[in-house]
Structure 1
Amino acid sequence: MGEEKAEITVSLPVEVINLPKDLIIANDIPTAINVRIFGPRSLIRDVAIQRLPKIIDLKNTSPGKITIHIDPETLPIPTGVKITRFQPSEFNIILEPMMRKELMVKPEIIGTPAKGYKIEKIETIPDRVIASGLPRELNKLREIKTLPINIDGATEIIKVRSGLNMKDITNTETNISEVTVTVYIKPIEGIKKIQRVPVKLYPPISKISFWPKEVSITLKGPLTELNNITANDITVMIETQDLTKGIHVIEPKCIVPEGISLLNIIPQKIKVYKAKK
């Protein structure tokens, strides 16, 4: 009877239940009811800690505007605590038919691969989602973006789980919240011509002469590797072990670094002379 009393304002969450599956709330409604209460300090403390919700039951409702009147007797306040005031005392809920629509998922890529690399392709799994929401929102949409995926400086495949960007479609939900995005990064290919590559004999035999002594080579491959290749990295040779005496016109064998392909060699044939004993 003699317990000290107090007066405070508490915020009671608004919780909507039994919303029909084919309807959606089309307007902003209060998230909480602010209630000024007076009573024994222990009871006041319990109310503040528990923050029991104000339940709004939408069972058997239909499209249109519903006015919710807040009756203080229905607020979850224990006996012995007095409500001195509360707000809001009423608010409207506008219900509209829900629309469902299939949307393409568009990865939001930011940044660029490292120098000498490029995006080969982007794969999204799944690449479509089912969106449910207000017709006025969904009718404007053809696709939905992911959250930003940073590939700046990438030199290899990037695979991430990314959420969907729902920032501008707050009244819309999707059947899934994340997708898997794979960004395939590959080196940019180019062509490089290397001149004056020496021709060698294998095995070397002193009684064999040949012309020309040098050739021009055209290579294809990743620019990051081509830029570092010189004539010293290429072997152009004429195999001499089965060579008979006389004059021959031979296509030289060319060995290039791994991952690099030979496009052309000029001249394509070498004139070789093997002298008699």
Structure 2
Amino acid sequence: MRRFKDILIKDLWIKAFSIIFAFFLWFSIVGGESAEEFFTIPLTIVKIPENMIIKNELVDFVNLRVRGQKAVLNSLNAKQITVELNLKDAKEGENVITLFPEEVKLPEGLSVVRISPSQVTVELSKLAEKALPVEPDFFGTAAKGYEIGRVTATPLKVEVMGLKEALKDQEKIKTARIDLFGKNRSFSVEADLKPPSGNVYIKGPKKVQVDVEILEKSGRREFRNIPVKGSGPSDGAVFHPDKVTLVIAGPEAKLTDMLPSMIEVVIQEPETPGAFDLEPEVTLPEGFQVIRISPEKIRVKVEKHS
């Protein structure tokens, strides 16, 4: 009985070994078969000459026919393959660059049988430079009674580079939109520059500082029948007319609340008797100014005392 078990166990080991051996034999035969697969791979542009730009449209992908062991091909994915278009020796103008199969980067044991397209035409143009003035761009409005004043960008101009023909139409470069909504005081902000159109690129930093002055809106208001007062040694001086009309400028919101009693029109009375045409002096609250006074001169009569 024991001998029978030993023989059975021995046979099991032989059978297991035979199965494993047969599997590896099959795998080596099938996996070792040569096969071919097609892949579509992005074309990577490298080593563009300094101060040059690609002027024409290029293909984005190339088609490859790759040969190798079937097992290796089955596990291959496009991310393991790199196709580069090397422009290190390219010159200004038209260049025809050949894509050689042996220059394709892929795992060991594989080779490229065919590449399409096998040649790529690249047109290079020298980059030109131009200084464009910065124009801050705004949206929204300041708080009621306020308006935007002086706006300064630092730097005032930005260097851009691109094709000569593309630069001809570039006259300014705008910032990203700056929010003015509800602003009632001056402020500074760091703003991104909007990318120029066409084959034009910003050479330096892509941000500028923008200083924005917010001012109270200036308005005008007419005040009628403001009395003229005398100031001086004379007693009983007569003014003709004894009231004036004023046009006053100042902050719009404050003008609305301004009262006639806040305006003082004064004549410096002469010390000697006679008739005089004198300009009145107007005193106003701070921040206001006289735009026009009518009449500009007042007739002042000073009687001689007996």
Give TM-score, length-normalised by structure 2: 0.59
1:116-148 Cα offsets, whole Å, 9 max, x none, are 54443332322333333222222x235232244
Give the number of aligned pairs.
258
Q: How far apart in 1 are the matches of 2:180 and 2:81?
A: 48
Q: Higher strand share goes to which structure? A: 1
1:146 alignment partner, SS class: strand
Structure 2 residues not aligned, in runs of 5+ = 1-23, 32-36, 230-235, 268-275, 301-306
Q: Does 1:76 align with 2:102?
A: no
Q: Which residue of 2 aligns with 1:44?
A: 76
2:85 to 52, 56, 62: 56
Q: Which residue of 1 aligns with 2:215?
A: 186
Residues 66/219 of structure 1: CA separation in 2 closer, same or farther (3 Å cut): same
1:143 alignment partner, SS class: coil
Q: Which residue of 1 aligns with 2:188?
A: 159
1:44 alignment partner, SS class: coil
Q: Which residue of 1 aligns with 2:137?
A: 109
* Amino acid across the alignment from 2:45: E
User: Counterparts in 2 of 1:1-277, with a 5 A limit?
Assistant: 2=27, 9=39, 11-17=41-47, 19-33=48-62, 35=64, 39-40=71-72, 43-44=75-76, 48=79, 53-81=82-110, 87-96=116-125, 98-107=126-135, 109-111=137-139, 113-114=141-142, 116-138=145-167, 140-151=168-179, 153=181, 154-157=183-186, 159-160=188-189, 161-167=191-197, 169-170=198-199, 172-176=200-204, 177-196=206-225, 216-231=245-260, 256-262=284-290
Residue 14 of structure 1: how far off its partner (Å): 0.4
Residues 87/147 of structure 1: CA separation in 2 closer, same or farther (3 Å cut): farther
Residues 183/141 of structure 1: CA separation in 2 closer, same or farther (3 Å cut): farther
Q: Which has the larger radius of gyration?
A: 2
Superposed structure 1 runs of 4+ greater than 6 Å apart:
210-215, 235-238, 251-254, 264-269
Residue 82 of structure 1: how far off its partner (Å): 6.2
Identity of aligned residues (%): 23
Residues 129/264 of structure 1: CA separation in 2 closer, same or farther (3 Å cut): closer
Kept in 1: contact 2:82–2:106 (CA 8 A): no
Residue 155 of structure 1: how far off its partner (Å): 4.3
1:182 alignment partner, SS class: strand
Residue 221 of structure 1: how far off its partner (Å): 0.9
Residue 107 of structure 1: how far off its partner (Å): 1.0
Q: How far apart in 2 are the matches of 1:213 and 1:148?
A: 58
Structure 1 residues not aligned, in runs of 5+ = 201-207, 239-248, 272-277
Q: Higher helix share goes to which structure? A: 2
Give TM-score, length-normalised by structure 1: 0.64
For the aligned residue pairs, the C-alpha RMSD in angstroms reads 4.9
